[in-house]
Amino acid sequence: MSERDVLARFEAHLDPARPEAAPGVSIIGYGEVSTVFALAELPGRVCKRMSGFRDAEAVAHYAETVRRYIDFLEAEDIRVVETAILAIERKGRAPVVYLAQPQLAAEGLGNSVLRHADDATLRARLDAVLLRIGRLLRSNRERRDGRSVTVDAQLSNWHFGSGERAGGEPLLIDIGTPFMRKDGADEIGVELFLAAVPPGVRALYRRARAVERYLDAFFDARSLLVDAVANFHKEGRPDRIPLALERVNRWLAEDVPDLGGRPIRAEDVDRYYRNDAKTLELYLRARRLDRFVRTRLLGQRYDFILPGAIRR
Ligand SMILES: Nc1ncnc2c1ncn2[C@@H]1O[C@H](COP(=O)(O)OP(=O)(O)O)[C@@H](O)[C@H]1O
Ligand SMILES: [Mg+2]
């Protein structure tokens, strides 16, 4: 059976409220955006499910944007893990998209490097990511076609090789949100983000341009790195924040001085993290409440997988 057929069958059996109940599934992780599965029928592969599309046209636009994003990054010398983008049709509802990738060795994942590698290795991995991000952000400035492109810098979004190939070029694994702007507008559009928000707050988010503001932070060197370093808290290694800041601040001052980033202090990171954790927790609670109202009170379907309690 093809990968597409396996995923179509999986999707037909999936209850988004209980993803682990579908046959042959193991959940590898909940990211902030997607849920990452491995399926017994697709050995050696991982799949990330994206839902919330209005219609087939929105799905086609998303798939095309992700494809272009990957091509763009590769052209800018950022290597991306081989990714199949599969739109899966459903009866009477808009399709969902699965992003399928080879399952990479756990020891090479950025979160594992952050937890277990020695200081010299962690420094080298951080420098490798910073080098590539610096080039990308600098070329945003130089480009004349109104386009700007960025990535989510968090270590958990990169793979650094394993075994013999440890320490090779970092490989970007998180490409589900294409951070690509043309003349200031997000090419992915805001609707996909808003679909995940309870309807009651959607108008509010729209008016406050909350999605655009959330995305803004990824295009700015300093705020991108504050976020990435703050993630050390979530990964349980806040003790390594000083080491990371030493590399990041050197990079801000020496490699990208033209991008105008003041040095980042540990207090900046901690303050950001407390705020971000609170916002995400609130957001998740609002989504759980919305799911409860829609499924239990209104008898509707709820198409998003929500993470369980997030440990911070
Ligand atoms: N190709 C892969 N192989 C192994 N693990 C992966 C792979 N892709 C993702 N993961 C794991 O799942 C986590 C979340 O995936 P990611 O693509 O970053 O999704 P999100 O957008 O939700 O953050 C990663 O940090 C990593 O631990
Ligand atoms: Mg991620």
pLDDT tens-digit profile of 48-78?
999 999 999 999 999 999 999 999 999 999 9
Lowest mean pLDDT among 168-177, 281-290, 296-305: 281-290
Region 40-52 average pLDDT: 95
- Residue ID of nearest Cα to ligand 1 atom 23: 31
Q: Given the DSSP bridges, would you call strands 79-80 and 185-186 parallel, antiparallel or unpaired?
A: unpaired
Set out the domains of the chain in order of their start, with CATH numbers: 1-103 (3.30.200)
The closest-lying atom of ligand 1 relative to the alpha carbon of residue 157 is 18
Could you give the maximum distance between any two Cα atoms of the chain, in Å?
57
| Ligand 2 centroid from CA 229, angstroms | 14
Phi, psi of 46 (to 5 degrees): -120, 155
Using the CB atoms, write b or e for 24-63: b if 16+ within 10 Å: ebeeeeebbebbbbbbebbeebbbbbbbbbeeeebbebbb
Query: Which ligand is the nearest neighbour of the Cα of 109?
Result: 1
pLDDT, averaged across the chain: 92
Cβ of 109 below 6 Å from ligand 1: yes
pLDDT of amino acid 62: 97
Q: pLDDT above 70 covers what percent of the chain?
A: 97
CA distance 249 to 166: 25
Find, among 307, 203, 218, 221, the residue nearest to 263 by Cα: 221
Quick one: tokens of 175?
């490409």
- 243 sits in which H/E element: helix 241-250
Cα–Cα distance, 80 to 70 (Å, whole number): 7
Q: Where are the beta strands (DSSP E) in the chain?
A: 25-30, 35-39, 45-50, 79-80, 84-90, 93-102, 147-149, 158-159, 171-172, 180-182, 185-186
Residue 311 has pLDDT above 70, yes or no: no
Over residues 197-202, the mean pLDDT reads 85
Q: Please tell me the residue having the least CA distance from ligand 1 atom 19.
A: 31
pLDDT band at residue 279, thresholds of 50, 70 and 90? Answer: confident
Task: Tell me: pLDDT of 36 over 70.
Answer: yes
Residue 32 CA, closest ligand 1 atom number = 22
| CA–centroid distance, residue 150 to ligand 1 (Å) | 18
Q: Classify burial at 159, counting beta carbons within 10 Å of its beta carbon; exposed 0-12, middle 13-18, buried 19 or more.
A: buried
* 312: pLDDT strictly greater than 80: no
Rounded to the nearest whole angstrom, what is the distance from the C-alpha of residue 22 to the centroid of ligand 2? 23
Q: How far apart are CA 23 and CA 37, in angstroms?
A: 12
Tell me what the mean pLDDT of segment 274-296 comes to: 83
pLDDT at 32: 67
Q: Per-residue pLDDT tens for 222-275?
A: 999 999 999 999 999 999 999 999 999 999 999 999 987 899 999 999 999 998
Instruction: Give the per-residue pLDDT at 198.
Output: 86
With a 6 Å cutoff on the Cβ, whether 33 touches ligand 1 is: yes
More confident residue, 15 or 245: 245
Q: How far is CA 73 from CA 132, 172, 175, 192, 278, in A?
A: 10, 9, 10, 22, 32
**Does residue 101 line the site of ligand 1, with CB under 6 A?**
yes
pLDDT score recorded for residue 188: 95
Establish whether residue 270 lines the binding site of ligand 1, counting it when its CB lies within 6 angstroms of any ligand atom: no
Model pLDDT, residue 298 = 86
- Is 181 strand, coil or helix? strand
Token pair of 280 as six digits: 């995400």
- Which of 57-61, 76-80, 189-193, 286-290 has the least mean pLDDT? 286-290
Q: How many CB atoms lie within 10 A of CB 295?
A: 14
Which atom of ligand 1 is the closest one to the Cα of 31?
22
Rounded mean pLDDT, 144-154: 96
Q: Can you tell me the mean pLDDT for 170-176? A: 97
Is pLDDT above 90 for 282? no
Q: Whose CA is nearest to atom 25 of ligand 1?
A: 156
pLDDT at position 241, please?
98
For residue 29, which atom of ligand 1 is closest to its CA? 12
pTM score:
0.93
CB atoms near residue 247 (< 10 Å):
19
